[in-house]
A and B are shown apart, each in its own frame.
Chain A
């Protein structure tokens, strides 16, 4: 008895003009310099040394973007949405504080902690956003993370639950007694305070909504081919749920393991393999939803970039400024948006690419122009946003 609510709110003819946010977190400090390579910066090759990626003229498969930046060979699939004007790279972007700690950096980013705050906040910026706008649907399942634990981005959010593998999400036990057992759980959890009480309401509703989606046998559109593995499978599951009409407002999908201190391999090693998975997954998601009428904005980022100079282990230590990736029909893409600070030693911030675009400026515009936020100011406390024109 799945009770799937097919939304009239999203889609080409929908009433409320709001995108679902797909937030891809590249955890571990992804080296954006090896994905969107500043090959035209005169200091790049010398400062990156043995890990520098040659530009397009080398014939290595890099794809030129604008004469200054290119996609490295493993990032080349991103050129599909880029060429359609639907993928925007925001470079030398990042957080306001130069923390080099992964978890401190992630938490501050995800909770949009003000720069001057000694301790990070405990509520995600998306949580604040969802708190301030009407749900698209019934409100019990508004946001998912494809993980065992809810990320900070969604901590405290109404109607947010983690579902690690949506295709296997189901109510356990014998079918004959399932309804009765569900009712026992619903009754026991109803008086519970947060987080367990609301989590149970969301879980019981998600069992209907997500449990009613036909994941197996799903055929992506437009020849989209998702890579195997958890990230490709995760974006595929998100596309399946959106096409099934679920009223989701945010999905967080992680791709972990970018902490390449040792043996990074940006051209054909570990990093290159992971970047290939990332790029092909985004390409597949783009093609799959192309012309579907489903409104989405995908934002992919890491907590910080990596240091320009490699260490002696053929890796790079934690850095600062980095590339962000925005994708969707409402994104003013097909270009690299940057206020490039340059890689000359005098322009670096403690040896790192500096941050010249605050990620909160990017997200403020996304929230207001694509996610239906009437005023994104409170989502990013202590920050006065500058409009960058990342959206159409």
Chain B
């Protein structure tokens, strides 16, 4: 079975959802040269908030998304995206439906695959790629990716945790991605996936395991410069003793389970707060609540989220806007994300922050979306090949999640050049860019406009004119052919300007 995104995308009427008439003529003209609405190439594109949104609120820019934002208006488009359950999503849903493991209960997963099977792990990685490429709920996917990094679990770190990861993605991360932060935090803490990953299931009275206790403060809530000490790590770890899940041979396998026999019922002191003895499961819940509403948590997580969505190292004024919404809504993530993408926040960030470097996953998914990639193996090869550029889904080893900085990803350019060139020339496993899809993008324009057309289709107006001109110079010396078209698309993808968004 094959999937090609653009035809699906354009078949759906938006009228019933937004009440905004859709200009179908404009949509089918998406491949026309830049019209009056097209942003000028270069940094000026930064001022075009429609374009910024099309890059920042999706797993990969497309002209079709930009058209949608322009016709609906930014606020209406964001509102639609923040209610993903109302967005019909036949392509992604159809793909997911063909992988039953993704919706299986843990006992069913265990019965069908056994404890250590890799098959359901790969299914979920394939579904991750498919949703990112195909789904209409692009903002949800973007937010889900953020929370997967923030509450990172390495899917393959432990054998005992492999099956749990499917439930973690579905019942914790996706379930609460646009819900309340505290609900998400509690769900993470109670999940068997995090428990197996950070040894919560062996954290018992008299031999507290500090793995989860440390990360829940350092990574999930307060941040590494948070106001906690090594003693606080030891003490909070005692609070979570006895938090485990049902083992396979027990009743309700995978469900959260408080084992009083393993709990340390003694008094504890965490961050100066004294917990009298005998608290039981409430000790841990009290700690999660204290952390969820701690001012340092609001600051740390708000800064990170607005940095993810709107600009690296955001100005304090932008962070403060998020914190204010967090306080006013008691941590309603839907409203927090809405504020992070508001005109005011985007403008604050545009004024003071640099463009962000696309991570390898974003880079690759974007190319698949823009160029109409077709899969012959249900994205199995696509998921695996992200390993070569350092970002296969769900397998970052340490609990801090894949980094999101220029410093971390900016030293390897040949990996990106090779990924793009091989994808476009059919050299990545299971993936193909059909000539028809490429021709639809650039085949109809005169040769002298080819680079400019490709740059607009692949990045809106964000690639500087000088780089577009240099690619055009390469094209200009050659008679037009499909291979020249592929070379040109690969060079646009390899250009410095394409790496940023």
Contacts and interface: CB of A to CB of B under 8 A. Distances in A.
B491 interface: yes
Interface string B421-455: 11001010000000000000000000000000000
A180 B484 CA distance: 12
A155 B496 contact: no
Nearest to A261: B199
B413 A199 contact: yes
B250 interface: no
A173 B411 contact: no
Interface stretch (A68-76, A99-107, A232-240, A363-371): A99-107
Interface in A178-209: 180-181, 184-185, 187-189, 192, 194-197, 199-200, 203, 206-207
Contact of B487 (A119, A173, A311): A173
B388 interface: yes
B413 A188 contact: no
Contacts of A104: 218, 224
A110 to B, nearest CB: 13
Nearest to B415: A148
Contact of A161 (B230, B400, B411, B496): B411
Contacts of B480: none
B143 to A, nearest CB: 24
Interface in A143-197: 147-150, 155-156, 160-162, 164, 169-174, 177, 180-181, 184-185, 187-189, 192, 194-197
A19 interface: no
A84 B408 CA distance: 40
Given A100-B214, A196-B499, A312-B204, A185 B494 contact: yes
A306 interface: no
Nearest to A145: B411
A317 interface: yes
Contact of A100 (B158, B230, B422, B499): B230
Given A149-B390, A200-B413, A262-B202, A184 B425 contact: no
Interface residues of A, number: 53
Contact of A192 (B204, B209, B496): B496
Given A100-B210, A164-B388, A192-B496, A199 B410 contact: yes
Interface stretch (B83-91, B165-173, B467-475): B467-475
Nearest to B196: A262
A103 B491 contact: no
Contacts of B357: 196
Contacts of A170: 418
A192 B413 CA distance: 12
B417 interface: yes
B155 to A, nearest CB: 15
Contacts of B408: 149-150
B413 A189 contact: yes
B422 A311 contact: no
Nearest to B237: A317
Contacts of B471: 184, 188
A128 interface: no
Interface size bucket, B side?
A: 35 or more
Given A100-B214, A195-B411, A196-B413, A184 B474 contact: yes
A118 interface: yes
Interface string B460-501: 000000110011011000000001000100110011100100
A172 B407 contact: no
Interface string B336-347: 000000000000
A262 B199 contact: yes
Residue with the greatest number of chain A CB neighbours at <10 A, chosen from B210, B230, B406, B414: B414
Contacts of B496: 188-189, 192, 196-197
Interface in B204-254: 204, 206-207, 209-211, 214, 218, 224-225, 230, 233
A207 B210 CA distance: 45
A199 B411 contact: yes
B411 A101 contact: no
Contacts of A192: 496
A185 B409 CA distance: 18
19 contacts: A101-B224, A104-B224, A118-B225, A148-B390, A148-B412, A149-B409, A173-B425, A181-B491, A184-B471, A185-B491, A197-B496, A203-B412, A206-B414, A256-B397, A261-B209, A262-B202, A312-B204, A313-B202, A317-B210
Interface of A: 98, 100-104, 118-119, 122, 147-150, 155-156, 160-162, 164, 169-174, 177, 180-181, 184-185, 187-189, 192, 194-197, 199-200, 203, 206-207, 256-257, 261-262, 311-313, 317-318, 350
Query: What 6 A-B pairs come out closest when comparing CB atoms?
Result: A148-B390, A195-B410, A172-B421, A172-B418, A313-B202, A203-B414
Given A104-B224, A119-B224, A149-B412, 8 more contacts: A101-B224, A119-B225, A164-B390, A171-B414, A181-B491, A188-B466, A188-B467, A318-B210
